[in-house]
Amino acid sequence: MDRRSELCICDPVSGAVETVLRSERLIEAPNWAADGSLIVNGDGALFRVPLASPRLVRIETGHLNRLNNDHGISPDGRLLAISDKTEFDESRIYLLPFSGGTPRLVTEAGPSYWHGWSPDGSTLAYVGKRDGTFQVCTCPVEGGPETRLTDGFDHCDGPDYSSDGQWLWFNGEVDGHVDLWRIPAGGGRPERMTDDASVNWFPHPSPKGDEVLYLAYPAGTEGHPRDLDVALRMLDERTGATRTIVELFGGQGTINVPCWAPDGTRFAFVRYARENG
């Protein structure tokens, strides 16, 4: 069923929201590129949205045509990471040129879903289902042996690096509740960063290194569904205080992947129309 998607930009200080593109296509998960475009996915494909003239411009991904909403841009802007299940019928991570082209397989094990790129460009962070649960893993950009960073969580998702590369933030489920956590990027003891009634997903540290954007679901939400009243919130890294920036109808697809502008002054997100609206 067609639905209206709104690709938006938000000022985290004022909370002002600008809608830059409306589409009847279901689009998801914006990344913000240094060239002044946003990257989104929809219908198994990847698209570029130039902000100077917003429209969906398809990016060539070779034989891969079953992309999900876990994709992102290398720190130097030269490469795209995508997650796709065309070849294996479950997600693997691939790299391809930023302009589009032939993808290269990175992760042999699956399912694997990309979520973060270390600031020095050397390491990919992702979640993989290993031994029955999804946990946070990393591997070199060139591929090779993966390192599993988490254990003891019922489910993990959304690992994203802090701006200094010292931490990986992620959402982790323990005893049926999902909070934000962080763990040293090289491995160590995880630290719980939220502890409230909301179901908190997809933390994205600001490039400025002071706050973390995340998606807050209503208490009792299971998983990370679409089509709910949710909030985009900011967590102060120094004090732990949180504040709501935007309330919207969304969820899955809203901010699954890194979405900050490179200078940290704005972020991108997607919201959706209600069936009756």
Per-residue pLDDT of the chain (277 residues; tens, 9 = 90+): 456 999 999 999 999 999 999 999 999 999 999 999 999 999 999 999 999 999 999 999 999 999 999 999 999 999 999 999 999 999 999 999 999 999 999 999 999 999 999 999 999 999 999 989 999 999 999 999 999 999 989 999 999 999 999 999 999 999 999 999 999 999 999 999 999 999 999 999 999 999 999 999 999 999 999 999 999 999 999 999 999 999 999 999 999 999 999 999 999 999 999 976 5
Give the pLDDT confidence score for residue 2 in this predicted structure.
53
- The second-level CATH assignment, the architecture, of 5-272 is 6 Propeller (2.120)
Beta bridge partners of 206: none
List, in sequence order, every residue forming a beta bridge with 268; answer none if it has no partner. 9
H/E stretch holding 197: none
Tell which residue, 37, 103, 40, has the closest CA to residue 69.
40
Question: Where are the chain's structural domains?
Answer: 5-272
pLDDT, residue 276, reads 65
Helix, strand, coil percentages in the chain from 3-state DSSP, rounded to 5: 0, 50, 50
Cα–Cα distance for residue pair 270/3, rounded to 1 Å: 12
The full length of the chain comes to: 277
Give the β-pairing of 228-236 and 28-32. unpaired
CB 43 within 8 A of CB 242: no
What pLDDT was estimated at residue 35? 96
Q: How much is the pLDDT for 275?
A: 78
Q: How far apart are CA 182 and CA 162, in angstroms?
A: 9
